[in-house]
Structure 1
Amino acid sequence: MSRTARSRTRLRLGLTATALLTAAALVPAPAHAEDVADYTITVDPAAEGARIDDTMYGVFFEDINRAADGGLYAELVQNRSFEYSTADNGSYMPLTSWSVTGTAEVVNDSGRLNERNRNYLSLGAGSSVTNAGYNTGVRVEKGKRYDFSVWARAASGTTLTVSLKDAAGTLATTRQVAVEGGWAQYEATFTAARTSNRGRLTVAATDAAALDMVSLFPRDTYKNQPNGLRKDLAEKIAALKPGFVRFPGGCLVNTGSMEDYSEASGWQRKRSYQWKDTIGPVEERATNANFWGYNQSYGLGYYEYFRFAEDIGAMPLPVVPALVTGCGQNRATDDEALLKRHIQDTLDLIEFANGPATSTWGKVRAQMGHPKPFHLTHIGVGNEENLPREFFARFERFRAAIKAEYPDITVISNSGPDDSGTTFDTAWQLNREGRVDMVDEHYYNSPQWFLQNNDRYDSYDRGGPKVFLGEYASQGNAWKNGLAEAAFMTGLERNADIVKLASYAPLLANEDYVQWSPDMIWFNNHASWGSANYEVQKLFMTNVGDRVVPSRASTTPDVSGPITGSVGLSTWATSAAYDDVRVTSADGSTLLSDDFSGDASRWTHSGGGSWSVRDGQYVQTDEAAENTLVTAGDPAWHDYDLHVRATKKSGKEGFLVAFGVKDTGNHYWWNLGGWNNTQSAVEQSVDGGKSTLISRAGSIETGRAYDIDITVRGRQVTLYLDGEEWGSFTDDKPAEPFRQVVTEDERTGDLIVKVVNAQPAEARTAIDLGGARVGSSARVTTLAADADAVNTETDTPVSPVTSTFRGVADEFTYTFPAHSVTFLRIARR
C-alpha cells in the first residue's frame, strides 16, 4: 500500500457524503404494471462459465493502523523491551508507555540481553515501573488467565512484585518472583478477579535489577497457540473462510534500507522487512521502525503468519522485497552482493516453509514447533514499485533462482500502485513479454469507479498472466462503499479465469491508531467489529461456488449529461501563484476573466491554505496545506475552455486546476506534479472519493510559468500544457447500479444468484433460469441499509438477514431492496 501515492484518497471513518452514488442511481423505479419487471436476469445453466478456484478470495495483512502490536498479536504490554525510539516516531523514547516510581534508566551497553535486543531497564532498589498497554490500558476479563513473563538479572537476590490494577483497585492477586544471577526468564500467572479496559501492569523490585521483555499474554489466544493471536480478531478473519493470507505487506515490504543490522550502521531501525529478522525466540527477534510511523516488535513474525494461515485453512502467500523501493521512495539498488543475498534469503524462506526438518531452514521451523512443512505454493516479489523497468530486471533474477530450485512455485510480479497510467502500462507490457505467472494489481478508487468498471477484466488477454488483485477498496466504510465493491466483485467472479486471487485491503485498524482508512475490521483494546465492507466480503467469500453459470441482465438507463460545473485552483503541500484565468464558452463568449489586478472577490475559498493577491497574481503560500481549493463561476457551466497561467513557488508538488466543480467533494482536477512531483493525472472526485482517469509521469519546475488549458465539450475533455496536447479522455462510462453474477456450488448443486442493487429504489426483477430444474424455494441472505450507514462498536446497521423465498420456478420475479446485496441459494432438483 502506498502512503504517498494515495494520500489524496484517504478518508476518515467519520466522514459522510451524499446518499446517492451516481446520476444513474438518481433514477426512480419506472412506473410499470404489476406484472412488468424493472430488470431482467437470464441464466444459461447449460453453458460453461469460468471455474472458480478455492483460493479466489483471501485476506491481506499489513502492520498498519497498529494491526500487529496492539492488535492481532495478543501481547498486552506496549514497548515490552524498551526499544521505542525517535527513529520510529518523533514522540517516542525508550520509556514510552511506561511510568517510573523511584529510579529507573534504560541502558544500551554490553550487559544487554542479546545483540538484537539492545535496550534493557536498570531498575533501582525500591523502585517500580508501570505499563499503560494500548488504547485505554491493559484489558483483562473476569475469570480469564494471563501469563506474565520477564527476562531479569540481579547481582544479588531481589524480589519482583508484579501487580495488575486499575483506578478502582486490584484486578488480580499480586505475584512475587525471586530473581538472582544472570539473565533468565521468570514467569507468573494471573486470574482476573474482574473485568477492566484500563488496567496497568506494575513491576516493583526490592533491590536493584535489570529487566527486559516484560510481557503479559492472555492464556486464551486463538487456537491456544503460544505467542499467539488475539482471539476475537483472529476469529473474525477465520469467519471469512479466506482462501489465502497475503503478508506482511504492503509498504512494509519494499521501504526502508535493505542493509543488515550492524554496529557500523548504528543498528539502524528503518530497515526493510526481512523475514529472518522475525523468527526464532521472540526475545532474540529484532525491533524496527514501522513505515506507518510507529515501532514493530516482530513478535508476530513469519512463523506466526504461516501458522495462522494453517490454522484457518488458508494458503500462505508471503511477499519479499525486490531491492527496488516503492511507496514514494523510488530507489533501486545496484549492489550485486546485496541482491544475491536477498535472492538467497528468498530461497531460504521457501526452505523454511517447505523443507524437511533435516534441512537447514526446515530445522529452524521444526525447532520452533512445526516439524511438518507449511506447503507454500505462491510467493510475491516486490510491491507497488514505481520504477517498472528497474523492478522487472530484478524480479527476473528472483524468478529464475526460485524456478531453478522450486519449479512448482508460482512467482507473482506486480503492476505498480494504480489501476492505470504509464507505470501500470509499462509493468504489464514487461510482465506479458516475460511470460509472468501472475501480476499483483492494487487500486483504491471511488465508489463510482467500482460501479463503472465491472467489466475491467472482460477484455484481459486470456492467454496472458493471471491477476492477483492484492489490494482494493473504495474510499470509505459506509454502506455505499460496500455496495460498490460488491458490484465490482460480481465482475471479478465472472472473470475468475483471469482473476485468480483477490483481497480487500487493509484488513485491520485500531480506532485509536489510524494511519489509513477505510479498513475491513475495526477494534480497540476490548472489542472488534466488522465494517460494512467486511459483511460484503464475508458474504461473497462464504458463498463463492465452483464455477460461473453464464447469465446476463438488463441495465439502468443512463441519464448523464455534459460535464457541468465551475472552475477551481488548488495546491497540495506546495506554494503556487496563478494568473490570467479565463473561461470562454464554446460560442466564444467570456464567462470569466481575472488577471488579479484587483482583488480576488470572484473566488470562494472552501479549503485550507493561505490565499492572497500579490503583484497581480493569486498566491497560495502555505506549504503544509494539503487541499487549498478556491472556486469561481457557475456550477451550471458546460462546454467551455479554461486557461490558467501557473507558477510553482516552493514545496513538494505542483498545481491542481479544477473544472466541472459542483462542490468540494464533486469535481475534476488536473493534478500536475502530484505524488511528490513524480507524475500528473486527471482525478475525478465523487462524494469525496477520487479516481484517476488519465495519468503520465512528469514533474513541475519551481519558478517556471506554465500555460494550462482545458477544453470541455460534452463529456470529452482535452488538456494542453504550454500549447501542446498533454492528453484527453471521455468520461461517458455509466456507473451501473444493478449488477449480478450466478455461480454453481458443485457439492450441493445449488445455483447462487448474486444481485447488487446500489440505487435508492427497489429493483423488481424477472429471473429466467433457462430451464434449470429447481426447487420451489430459495435460501436468501440480504444486506440492506441506508447508503450512508456505518457499522460501529455499538451499532451494526449493515448485518446479514436470512430468510426463505418460496416463489422460485424456472421463471419467477423477485424484488431486490434498495441499497442491497442479495444472494439467492436455489437448490436443483
Structure 2
Amino acid sequence: MSRTRTRWRLSLTATALLAASFLVPAPVNAAAEDTTDYAITVDPRTAGAKIDDTMYGVFFEDINRAADGGLYAELVQNRSFEYSTADNRSYTPLTSWATTGTAKTVDDDGRLNARNRTYLALDGGSSVTNSGYNTGISVEKGKVYDFSVWARTEGRSALTVTLQDADGELSEARRVTARGGWAKYTARFTATRTSATGRLTVSTGSPVALDMISLIPRDTYKGHGLRKDLAQRIAALDPAFVRFPGGCLVNTGSMQDYSESSNWERKRSYQWKDTIGPVEQRATNANFWGYNQSYGLGYHEYFQFSEDIGAMPLPVVPALVTGCGQNRAVDDDALLKRHIQDTLDLIEYANGPVTSEWGRKRAKAGHPKPFHLTHLAVGNEENLPNEYFERFKQFRAAIEAKYPDITVVSNSGPDDSGSTFDTAWKLNREANVDMVDEHYYNSPAWFLQNNDRYDSYDRNGPKVFLGEYASQGNTFKNALSEAAFMTGLERNADIVKLASYAPLLANEDYVQWRPDLIWFNNHASWNSANYEVQKLFMRNVGDRVVPSTATGTPSLNGPITGAVGLSTWATTAAYDDVRVTGADGTALLSDDFSGDASKWTHTGGGSWSVQDGQYVQSDEAAENTMVSAGDPAWHDYDVHVKATKKSGKEGFLVAFGVKDTGNYYWWNLGGWNNTQSAVEQAVDGGKSTLVSKAGSIETGRAYDIDIKVRGRQVTLLLDGKEWGSFTDDKPAEPFRQVVTKDKKTGDLIVKVVNAQAADARTAIDLGGAKVRPKAAVTTLAAAPDAVNTETEAPVAPVTSTFSGVADRFTYTFPANSVTFLRIRKG
C-alpha cells in the first residue's frame, strides 16, 4: 500500500463529457429487430496466451485493523498492555482497559520476557476489564471461548474471570489460582447468550501481576486461530496466491531489530523473525497505519493460511530503502547483509528439512512438512529506484546462489507511470529480472481507458505481478471498471502472471484506506461489489485465452472545458498576477489582487485572504484548499499564475478544466512531500496521474506558471520553459470482453463487461466452434452507485441458463453488468 501520495492520484481522459454516473450511453439503434449494437468475433482455431494457475490472488496487509481485531481471532484488545504513544498519540498501556481498585502498568525486570515488557500489577480487591474491538467482545450463544492469562504472584492469588455485557452474564464465571512465578493459566467459557457488546473482567483478592490476557473462539478457521467468517470469505475467492505482510508495513520504519535497537525502539520495519514462536514471546510494534500490531498473526500463520486455502505464499521482505513517504536509503553494509541472511533463513523456514535450523523451528511450531515457497518479493513501492535496485541485486544474487528455483520479484515504485516507474523498469529490463511488481490506485475511468495497458509490453522482458490495484471506491461502477480492466489482464496473460486487488480487509470502525474488498465489524462481515467481481474472475479463469475482437462505442470527446483554480496541500502559498486569455487573445480573467478576491469562489478548506497584493492561503495543515474563478464552459485558453511557497511540506497547485469540486485537472508542483510534480485529473472525486516528474519547489521563490489548453492538448511551462505536455483523448470504453477456454471441461468462457446505462445487444460469432445450445450464465448487474453493506447486498451474482447458443447467436448484456457465459463444447 502506498503512502507516497499525500492524496488520491488521478487520471481520466475522455470522460470530462460523461454523465455524472461516469457511464456512457450505448449507441441508439432504431433499425430492425435483428440488428445489434455490438459484435464479438471469436477465433477458436488460434491459440492465445496461456493463463497460469497463479493468475489471481489476494494481498493481505495489516491496514484498517485487518489483523488484530480482524482476521486474527483474538477478542481482547491490547492483551499484553504494550500500547504506547509510539503507536498512536492517544494510546497508553491501559488503552481499551478499565480498572478498579489499585492497578498500574509496570516495565521493570520483573517482566514476562524481554519482548513482552509491560505488565499489569493489581492489588487485592482490584480488577481490570477489557472492552474488545468495535462495540465490545462478540460472542455467540453455545460457542466455546478459550481464556488464558500469564500471572505472577507471591504465594497464591485467586482470580475470578467474568464475561458479561450490560444485561448481565454471558457465561458462568471462572476461577483460576495463580501460584509463584510467571505461568500460564487457562479456562473455558461457553456463551449462554449472543452479544456484540461483551466485556471481559479479571479480578483478584490478593496482589498479582498479569500479562497476555486472552480470549479466543475455540472455533477458528481450520483450527489455526483465524476468524472463521473472514477466512471463509477469502477462501471462497479461490485465490491462487497470498501476498503478505504488506505494503507499507514492509519498508517503513527502522530496519533494525530488537537486538540491534537502542531503547527498545518500537517503530521498526516488519521483520519475519519478530513474528514466529510462542505468541507471548513475539514482539509488538507500532503499525505504520497508526495503531499497534501484536504479531499474533505472524509469518507462520500466513504460511499456514495460504496452505489451508490452497494458495501459493508470496512474502515481501524489506530492501533497506524506506518508502511510503519516507524515501530514505539505509547505508549500512552489515545491516544489509543481516537482512539478506534473514531472507535466506526465511526460505529455509518455509522449505527446509526438519534437520535444518529454521526447518526445525517450523516443525516445532507444528508444521514439519515444507510450505513450498516458490516466489518472494524484495521491497515495496520504493521511490528511489537506483538505490533500491542496488540492494535488490544483492538480495537476488544471494537467493539465486542458494535457492535457484525461487522467483525473486522486483518492483516499479508506487505509480503506474512517471520518472520512478520508467527508471525502475529500465533497471529491471537491463538486469533481466524475472518479475516486476506494479501498483496503482486510479479512477474508474482510468481503468476503462487502460484496458490495453499491457498490449505493448515487451513479450521477451520481465513478467508483471500486479500486486496492488483498485479504482477509488466500493460502488458497483468501481467494480465494473475493474472488471473491464481485468479482461485486458487476461488477454495479456503472457505478460501479467499474477494480480491482486488491494487492500483485502477493512474494519468499519478503524479505516485508514478506502476502498477495500471485504468489510467487517466485531460480529459480521460482508462482500463489497468489487469482491463479487474478483470472485467471478477468480473462479472462472480458464487455462488459455481464445483470441477475440469486439466493436467499440463511439467516442464522446470534445475539448477540455472548465474554469481555473488555485490550491495548496499541507502548505501555505501566495498567488499573484492570474491571467486567463482565450486562444484568440480575448482576456477572460485578470486579477492582481490589488483589491479584493471577489472573483474567486472558495470550494475547499484552508484560510484564504488578500495580503499585500497577493492571494494567500495561510493554513499549513489544510489539504485541498481549492478556490476557483471563471466559467466552466471555457475552452482553448492560456493560464498564467505567479506562485510562491511560503511554508509547509509541499508546493502548490494550479487547476484548469474545473467543472466542480470533483471534476478538474491540476498541476501539482512539489507534491508527494515535495519530491515530484504531476498533472492529475479528478473525475467524480477519483484521481489519477497523467504525467509526472521528479522535482521540488523552493520556499520563498516566485515561480511563473503557464498552462496552454488547446482542444484536449495541454502544454505546461515553468518559468518560461516547457515542463511537459499531454493529450487527454483516450476513450473510456464501456464495452470490454475476453474469451478463455477451460482445458478440463472444454468450456468456452465468454466474459463481457457492459459499463453503461443501456443494454448492449451483441452478435457473437464463435468462429465455427462446435458448441451445445445451452450455456450457464452468471450475471452481476446493479445500479452504478450500488454499495453492499452489512444488511443489504444489491450487488450479488445471479445464475441462469441461456438456451440460444449456436455458432452465431445474439445475446443482450444488461446495462451496468458483468456477464460470464460458460459455453459447453458440442
Class of the TM-score when normalised by the shorter of the 2 chains: over 0.9
Q: Which amino acid aligns with 2:450?
A: N
Partner of 2:163: 164
Distance 2:637 2:782 in 1: 40
Q: Which runs of 5+ in 2 are unaligned?
A: 11-16
CA distance in structure 2 between the partners assigned to 1:680 and 1:277 by the alignment = 38
Match of 1:549? 546
Shift of 1:334: 1.2
- The Cα shift of 1:30 comes to 3.3
Q: Deviation per CA, 1:46-100: give whole Å up to 9, x if none.
A: 1110010111000000000000000000000000000000000000000000000
Task: Please name the residue that 2:184 is paired with.
Answer: 185
Contact 2:775 2:801 in 1 (8 A): yes
- Deviation, structure 1 residue 156: 1.4
Once the two structures are superposed, residues 774-795 of structure 1 have per-residue CA deviations (whole angstroms, 9 ceiling, x without a partner) of: 0101110000110011110011
Distance 1:501 1:792, change over 3 A: same
Equivalent position of 2:7 in the other structure: 7
| Aligned residue runs from structure 1 range 355-754, under 5 A | 355-754=352-751
Q: Distance in 2 between the 1:649 and 1:622 partners?
A: 11
SS at match of 1:229: coil
Once residues 777 and 433 of structure 2 are traced to their aligned partners in structure 1, the CA distance between those partners, rounded to angstroms, is: 41
Measured after TM superposition, the shift of residue 28 of structure 1 is 5.2
Instruction: Quote the residue 1:773 is aligned against.
Output: 770
The yes-or-no answer on 1:824 pairing with 2:807 is no
| Counterpart position of 1:173 | 172
The answer to whether residue 788 in structure 2 is matched with residue 799 in structure 1 is no
Q: CA deviation at 1:21?
A: 4.9
* Structure 1: segments with no counterpart, 5+ residues: 11-16
Task: Report the residue type matching 1:74 in the other structure.
Answer: A
Query: Which has the higher mean CA deviation after the structures are superposed, 29-38 or 234-243?
Result: 29-38
Partner of 1:310, secondary structure, is helix
Partner residue in 2 for 1:31: 30
Find the aligned partners of 2:483 and 2:230 in 1 and give their Cα distance: 23
Is 1:761 equivalent to 2:766 in the alignment? no
Are the counterparts in 1 of residues 18 and 24 from structure 2 also a CA contact under 8 Å? Answer: no
Structure 1 residues 202-243: Cα deviation after superposition (integer angstroms, max 9, x where no partner)? 000111111110000000100122xx1000000000000000
Cross-structure match for 2:340: 343
- Matched-pair contact (CA < 8 Å) for 1:20–1:787: no
Paired position in structure 2 for 1:14: none
CA contact (8 A) 1:21 1:447 kept: no
Q: Deviations over 1:349-398 (max 9, x none)?
A: 00000000110000000000000000000000000000000000000000
Answer yes or no: is the 8 Å Cα contact 1:775–1:808 preserved in 2. yes
Once the two structures are TM-superposed, the CA of residue 111 in structure 1 deviates from its matched residue by: 0.7
CA distance in 1, matches of 2:311, 2:335: 32
Please state how far the C-alpha of 1:26 moved relative to its aligned partner.
3.9
Aligned to 1:138: 137
Q: Which residue of 1 aligns with 2:290?
A: 293
Give 2:64's aligned amino acid. Answer: N
Q: Which residue of 2 aligns with 1:230?
A: 227
Any conservation in 2 of the 1:756–1:822 contact (CA below 8 Å)? Answer: yes
SS state at 1:413 partner: strand
What SS does structure 1 have at the residue aligned with 2:480? helix
With the length of structure 1 as denominator, give the TM-score of the two structures. 0.98
Asked if 2 retains the 8 angstrom alpha-carbon contact of 1:21 and 1:448, the reply is no
- Once residues 788 and 632 of structure 1 are traced to their aligned partners in structure 2, the CA distance between those partners, rounded to angstroms, is 30
Aligned to 2:14: none
* Structure 1 residue 34: Cα displacement: 1.1
* Kept after mapping to 1: 8 A contact 2:776/2:801: yes
Aligned CA distance change for structure 1 residues 9 and 524 (closer, same or farther; 3 Å): farther
Residue matched to 2:786: 789
Match of 1:208 in 2: 207
Q: In 1, Cα distance between the equivalents of 2:565 and 2:423?
A: 32
- Letter paired with 1:8: W
Residue 267 in structure 1 maps to residue 264 in structure 2: yes
**Structure 2 CA distance for aligned equivalents of residues 805 and 76 of structure 1:** 47
Q: Measure the CA separation in 2 of the matches of 1:314 and 1:692.
A: 33
Distance in 2 of aligned mates of 1:494 and 1:649: 49
What's the offset of the Cα at 1:259?
1.1
- Cα RMSD of the aligned pairs, angstroms, is 1.1
Partner Cα distance (2:90, 2:715) in 1: 47
- 2:180 is paired with a residue whose SS is strand
CA contact (8 A) 1:9 1:475 kept: no
What displacement does 1:19 show?
7.0
Q: Specify whether residues 188 and 290 from structure 1 end up closer, same or farther in structure 2 by C-alpha distance, changes over 3 A only.
A: same
Q: Is the 8 A contact 2:20 2:684 kept in 1?
A: no
TM-score, normalised to structure 2, is: 0.98
1:13 aligns to what? none
What is the CA-CA distance between 1:29 and the residue it aligns to? Answer: 3.4
Q: Contact 1:242/1:314 (CA < 8 Å) preserved in 2?
A: yes
Contact 2:9-2:680 within 8 A present in 1 as well: no
Deviation at 1:6, TM superposition (A): 5.0
SS of 1:380's equivalent? Answer: strand
Give 3-state SS (helix, strand or coil) of 1:7's partner. Answer: coil
CA distance in 2, matches of 1:61, 1:540: 19
